[in-house]
A and B are shown apart, each in its own frame.
Chain A
Amino acid sequence: MIVLDHVNKVYDDGFHALKDINLEFKKGEITVLIGPSGCGKSTTMKLINALNTPSSGKVLIDGKDISGLNPVELRRNIGYVIQSVGLFPHMNIAKNVAVVPHLKKWDKEKTDRKVNELLDLVGLDHTIYRNRYPSELSGGQQQRVGVIRALAADQDIILMDEPFSALDPISREQLQDELIRLQQELNKTIIFVTHDMDEAIKIADTIVLMKDGQIVQTGKPEAILRHPANDFVRNFIGQKRLQSENELSYEIPLVDDVMITNPVTAFPNRGLAEAIKMMESKRVDSLFIVDRNKQLQGAVSIYRVLDMYGEEGKTVADVMIPVRFSVSSGSTLPQAIELMDSHQLSNVPVVDGNNRFLGLVTRGSVVKHLAEVYPNLAPPQPAGEGEPM
């Protein structure tokens, strides 16, 4: 466990960067420091590996005041990842990963084994990537190497200062997922700095929200989302998530919000072979038949088409069955669900007043919608739990 005890940091130019910080970073947890630019996140993080020394107060690791330790030695026992990655351009990937084991004078065999294991762990085949140079890797791959470099000497504590912020959204999500997966295997004490609340919520066990060198709120992501300590936190969380505050006033979703707006349709004059082809390529098991005015005519399932397949010359209009159930635009989702439930339907079409086909509510689309608005629909939390700390 890492403890910051009444830490103040005043830089040489007189700037009071940290004001009486008291924090606990729990063992085996990911603690995310978040806050606006310049609020002191990096300053706080660098206290832990003695890149910064407190002007007053103490930093304790497992109860030991680190001011008594040799800083170079201390840093070798703490993994460190920074935004700009900082891979050494003149060393190949294997050497880059092996930097700290090398500093700690591990023997070659043990180091090699570790390097290969870590490369494979983040999906970089060691037979290919060991001998590459950093400039021969994509940004995301470099960042992966940056992360495993901080794990190579089996450090228990890893500091990560905005490690993913320079990446495109897709690589960033991938690396977040990988970090979560790695953490489940490795159980490190990770301190992670970010600007991005989505990232924080995704990976944090505990979030520490900072502003102007002070801690505004500390807690589990859930607790911070539900009970923001003040307007600053509320703002920082963002308007979209904020609605969870007034749980009761959430709006009942309409089928129009939930439906798939581009279901697979076919004109009545299509042949059966064409219909099979369409279902195959769109990966669906049924087609809705609409005419040129988007009037819903009926539906065919793959089974029905296969049944009638022998009769060449038939069109889907000949084999379709009428649609018995539909909901009109503006109905609520519960109405649609009720209908699907009582008639064992896997989907229900949404039509407008003129019976024009607008979209399709499927089980999948319902689940997807619920996932998106989950905070809005979450039941109120019993009092007592998740209070701001």
Chain B
Amino acid sequence: MNEFWSFITERYPDILLALRQHLTISFSAVILGTIVAVPIGILLVYNRVGWINSVVFFIANLFQTIPSLALLAILIPLLGIGVKPAILALLLYSLMPILRNTYDGFQSVDKGVLNSAKGMGYSAAQTILKIQLPLSLPYIMSGIRITTVYIISWATLASLIGAGGLGQLIVSGLGVNKPEMIFIGGIGAVVLALVADGLLGLLEGWLTRRYRQTRSAAV
């Protein structure tokens, strides 16, 4: 235990650096993933050609099934090593949950709400931005939350392609046989994931209350 504390006090700049890298990688991946996946999800809702939806969902699903280590390895020849390929790999993982939830959220908007929006003179863009998007926010947020938790844990692997992060502590710890270092790396990722889950969960709850999806249909 003593070694543990002395490790933290001695090496806290390194730990903080690893934490910062970890957060940067994870959140960049999630934010970029959201920016990509939400518009694609919306396009799919409006797409009338059935097979395109199937293909897109198939591809997004495919990324999910590739083992993370393998995906990172595949990206090395394409993008080299470092932070960028790590973010890209994690981004690919984030696509499916966010895409799926955006799509489901849009689909879940009450038809009566959409009919009355159209009938009262909302343009197509206004319907998306003012009605469907806000009403889907709880869904989208839930996709983002789930993704973030996964990505924070997968980001520990990013150190393997030289992107740093908490995984770096684990790898170095293994090299110099310092269990407390491995421990800090591992526990750090877990705590980070839990904290992110908690905070995003609060946000999701607030959005759900704010944009509650009640059937506004009469009794």
Contacts and interface: CB of A to CB of B under 8 A. Distances in A.
Interface of A: 49, 51, 72-77, 80, 82-90, 99-100, 103, 133-135, 138-140, 142-143, 146, 149-150, 159, 166-168
Most A CB atoms within 10 A — which of B115, B119, B211? B119
A75 B120 contact: yes
Size category, B interface: 20 to 34
B119 A75 contact: yes
9 contacts: A72-B121, A72-B123, A74-B121, A84-B216, A88-B117, A90-B134, A142-B218, A143-B218, A167-B219
Given A89-B113, A90-B210, A84 B121 contact: no
A289 B154 CA distance: 92
Shortest 10 CB-CB distances between A and B: which pairs? A86-B116, A84-B112, A139-B219, A76-B121, A75-B121, A80-B119, A135-B214, A86-B112, A139-B218, A166-B218
B78 to A, nearest CB: 42
Given A89-B212, A134-B216, 13 more contacts: A74-B121, A80-B116, A82-B116, A83-B218, A84-B115, A86-B113, A88-B131, A89-B113, A89-B135, A89-B216, A99-B120, A100-B120, A167-B218
Contact of A103 (B110, B116, B121): B121
Contact of B219 (A86, A133, A168): A168
Nearest to B112: A84
Mostly, the B contact residues are: helix
A18 B177 CA distance: 82
B212 A84 contact: no
Contacts of A135: 212, 214, 216
B213 interface: yes
Contacts of A159: 119
A86 B117 contact: yes
A194 to B, nearest CB: 15
Interface in B98-120: 110-120
Contact of B211 (A49, A89, A143, A166): A89
Interface of B: 110-123, 126, 131, 134-135, 210-214, 216-219
A87 B135 CA distance: 12
Contacts of A73: 121
Contacts of B212: 89-90, 133, 135
A284 to B, nearest CB: 38
A85 B117 contact: no
A85 B111 CA distance: 11
Nearest to B137: A90
Contacts of A133: 212
Contact of B216 (A72, A80, A86, A138): A86
Given A133-B212, A134-B214, A86 B121 contact: no
A120 B19 CA distance: 58
B115 A82 contact: yes
Most B CB atoms within 10 A — which of A51, A103, A149? A103
A151 to B, nearest CB: 12
Contacts of A76: 120-121
Nearest to B109: A89
A84 B120 contact: no
A148 to B, nearest CB: 13
A118 to B, nearest CB: 15
B218 A84 contact: yes
A139 B126 CA distance: 27
Contact of A85 (B112, B122, B210): B112
Contacts of B210: 90
B118 A166 contact: no
B219 A138 contact: yes
Contacts of B115: 82, 84, 86
A191 B119 CA distance: 14
